[in-house]
Amino acid sequence: MTTQEVKNMDAKAMGKVAVLMGGRSAEREVSLMSGNGVLAALKSKGVDAHAFDPAERELGELKREGFQRCFIALHGRFGEDGTVQGALELLGIPYTGPGVMASSVAMDKLMTKRIWIAEGLATPAWRQVHSAEETVAAFKALGSPMIIKPVREGSTIGLTKVTSEAQCAAAYELAAGQDPMVMCEQFIAGDEVTCPVLGTGASARALPVIRIVAPEGNYDYQNKYFTDDTQYLVPCGLPAGEEAAIQALVLKAYLTLDCRGWSRADVMIDAKTRKPWLLEINTSPGMTGHSLVPMSAKADGLSYEDLCLSLLASASLDNPA
């Protein structure tokens, strides 16, 4: 959808809109920040938009109160994992972002990797682990440094970069405290970048790549959302060929999982070989003041408000009546 098409859009035609925010995941705080930003943006465009927190209200109220569309600004489990999407399918209320299956698969980093590997897409080596002892064995196999993280969590919550066997047990316990499914992943040293995708099917397109330069290379929860110390470079400063290759890789990763509407993929570029490696894909990306999709969209000529309206207009169902 072009900028002009968004500007010509009839906001009233969106009907009564619920911005789903908050929820019950570990990312509730960030979701409230995203949701309130989206809510203000939609209202500024003339949309009849209302806040709706599934942690405080029963989803059936959406139908009873006549909501016609939902903008999903939930992050993590119970919002980004196919559960809310499934409920909205049953209620028959179109929603933003990927459908039930794509959302569920993308939330599971192991399943995502298995599909990408099957499709020939590069992603770092990994091991699923069930104990601290297995984590030590994975460290020996994958090498140092190694990433230990929950399989079904986001925003780097529960994630640790370990450089010795002695660190493995505590890192495993931290990850397992967030999710009983824990994985170890080969660490790729190099540039950290992210790339959003907007659209569905043949009309899907990758937005400009953002290069992330975090303090001491530590792009953790605090540096993502609550400090101004992280640098976000867009234009990314990479050679044109590298940026185009990352955009092509991310677009294929998006379509392989049957995503629609929007998502954002995180990628590491090996410093020695310059090969890009897919880390994960986020199907309900952040929309806070520090968030990356709005930043990339702005570089592409799309304001935050127009981005929100465009995403809302793309709301759909897997199985429309």
For residue 165, what are the contacts with CB-CB under 8 A and spacing of at least 6?
Answer: 136, 139, 140
Q: What is the pLDDT of residues 166-185, one digit of tens each?
A: 999 999 999 999 999 999 99
Give the span between the Cα atoms of 79 and 59, in whole angstroms.
12
Residues 286 and 267 in one domain: yes
Give the span between the Cα atoms of 22 and 26, in whole angstroms.
10
Residues 114 and 245 in one domain: yes
- CB of 197 closer than 8 Å to CB of 251: yes
What residue type is assigned to position 4 of the chain? Q
pTM value is 0.91
Residues 248 and 118 in one domain: yes
- Structural element, H or E, at residue 232: strand 231-233
3-class state of residue 148 by DSSP: strand
The tens-digit pLDDT sequence of the chain (321 residues) is: 666 677 678 888 899 999 999 999 888 999 999 999 999 999 999 999 999 999 999 999 999 999 999 999 999 889 999 999 999 999 999 999 999 999 999 999 999 999 999 999 999 999 999 999 999 999 999 999 999 999 998 767 899 999 999 999 999 999 999 999 999 999 999 999 999 999 999 999 999 999 999 876 654 555 555 567 789 999 999 988 999 999 999 999 999 999 999 999 999 999 999 999 999 999 999 999 889 999 999 999 999 999 999 999 999 999 887
Please say whether the dihedral angle defined by the alpha carbons of residues 298, 303, 308 and 312, taken in this order, is positive or negative: negative
Q: What angle do CA 266, 269, 271 make, to 5 degrees?
A: 150
Residues 113 and 249 in one domain: yes
In a domain, 292, yes or no: yes
Q: What are phi and psi of 314, to 5 degrees?
A: -85, 0
Q: C-alpha 44: how far from its chain's center? A: 25
Q: What is the CB neighbour count within 10 angstroms for residue 275?
A: 14
Residues 176 and 200 in one domain: no
Catalytically annotated residues: 27, 155, 225, 264, 266, 280, 282, 286
The pLDDT score that the predictor gives to residue 3 is 64
What residue type is assigned to position 129 of the chain? V
The H helix count followed by the E strand count for the chain is 12, 13
Give the residue from 135, 166, 186 where a domain finishes: 186
Q: What is the CB neighbour count within 10 angstroms for residue 164?
A: 10
Q: What is the pLDDT of residues 223-256, one digit of tens each?
A: 555 567 789 999 999 988 999 999 999 999 999 9
Which residues form the domain of 44? Answer: 3-96
Q: Structure tokens of 209?
A: 């790549």
- The structural domain count of the chain equals 3
- CB of 295 closer than 8 Å to CB of 232: yes
Give the span between the Cα atoms of 243 and 311, in whole angstroms.
24
